[in-house]
Amino acid sequence: MSTDARALIPAARRVVVKVGSSSISGESSQKIGPIVEAIAEAHGRGTEIVLVSSGAIATGMPFLSLDERPSDLATQQAAAAVGQNILIYRYQAALRPFEIVAGQVLLTAGDLENATPRSNARRAMDRLLGLRILPVVNENDTVATHEIRFGDNDRLAAMVAQLIGAEALVLLSDIDCLYTRPPDEPGAEPIFEVAYGDELAGFEFGSVVVNSVGTGGAATKVSAARIAAASGIGVLVTSADLVVDALRGSSVGTWFHPKR
């Protein structure tokens, strides 16, 4: 396993970090602190970081007395409206000791697929980064319709990385790296590196996971990694528990080599 490729991350001017709902909601909300500490360390050495954070719906659920992710769109939107407020407060509270200010950016797929709002989003985030603000990006779930579906924030993170001209994208999940088949199955082998254009033929990443707090899975991360890699952006998929090592360029996770 090469360490040289991952060294791109601490050397990069701009890095997008994406964290999923299951890593920062419920009992895992305590992980916000370590994630922020790792981001603050990278910020301190001059890296411009954009955080793409899922979790609005999951964070809002307890405040609406919901035990599981709602299935109807209106309740999802209501949970997101409540949860996004709480989520950004938690991030700002964790950032305060490092004297870093968060800037909330809510987007939909349409904002990045159409020229005018895409240009507006790019200008806003360029200015936030220039002011040393940490943009915290999420899908605008409160007004979204078809956008609330599996894998959107993995894809959104890849699109944001393209938008701001990032050199690296770090997709944080619940597992340390990707495996040739679901890691709880016999014969599953870790995948440490993926060459650009490798179709990963014969590997089983499973269907999309829909659990009590969010949606996503290995397949959505592979798809997002390919989008970013095709734009010349190196991508690391690893566990949220390894975020410090990931941003330091250590030999962790699955590295997708970018197109030259």
Binding-site residue positions for substrate? 54, 141, 153
Q: How far is the C-alpha of 58 from the C-alpha of 68, rounded, in Å?
A: 8
Nearest to 250 by CA among 160, 196, 176, 180: 176
Please give the single-letter amino acid code of residue 49. I
- The Cα angle at residue 172 between residues 219 and 126, in degrees rounded to 5: 105
Binding-site residue positions for ATP? 18, 173-174
Binding-site residue positions? 18, 54, 141, 153, 173-174
Q: Where are the alpha helices (DSSP H) in 66-206?
A: 73-95, 109-113, 115-130, 152-164
HSE, side-chain direction, 13 A CA sphere, residue 216: 25
Q: Is the distance from CB of 172 to CB of 239 less than 8 angstroms?
A: yes
Residue 30, number of CB atoms within 10 A of its CB: 9
Give the DSSP H/E element, type plus range, for residue 11. Answer: helix 8-11
Please give the single-letter amino acid code of residue 101. V
**Which residues sit opposite 255 in a β-bridge?**
193, 236
Q: Is the distance from CB of 141 to CB of 56 less than 8 angstroms?
A: yes
Tracing tokens 């699109």 back to the chain, one arrives at 159
